[in-house]
Amino acid sequence: MYTGHAMSCLFCKIVDGTIPSTPVYQDELCYAFADINPQAPVHVLVVPREHIVSMDECKQSNCNLMGHLLWAAAEIARAKGLGKGYRAVLNTGSDGGQSVEHLHVHLLGGRALSWPPG
């Protein structure tokens, strides 16, 4: 299986272990770890092992992978007992508030979240 890797990418380095993280879940397609600056009692990032810049870069061939990331987030939410609900967010591009250019799903939960986000 080809897994694109960008040398200068923070999350590629987290996926390959060059930069340490607190693992939450992993499988052949994705890696999930604790956000270093949590915005809720549960704040996990689910990233594809493959380097994809953002949702804006997704191709139809990434459909299975994208679904897998959401499934993994749901599994993590169940494992963490977020039965009252949670939020899965993909910040995309500068207006979307994306600061790391490796696609990631934020899983936020453990408190009531306000809407709309800022």
Q: How far is CA 3 from CA 53, 74, 75, in A?
A: 13, 23, 23
Of 37 and 60, nearer to ligand AMP (C-beta) is 37
Is residue 102 part of the annotated active site? The answer reads no
The active-site residue out of 43, 51, 104, 106 is 104
Give Cβ neighbours of residue 4 (< 8 Å, ≥ 6 apart). Answer: 50, 51, 52
Q: How far is CA 45 from CA 5, 6, 24, 60, 112, in A?
A: 18, 18, 9, 23, 19
Residues 19-38 interacting with ligand AMP (rule: CB under 6 A): 19, 21, 35-37
Binding of residue 6 to Zn ion (CB under 5 A): yes
Binding of residue 12 to Zn ion (CB under 5 A): yes
Binding site for ligand AMP (CB under 6 A): 10, 19, 21, 35-37, 45, 91, 97-100
Q: List residues with catalytic annotation.
A: 104
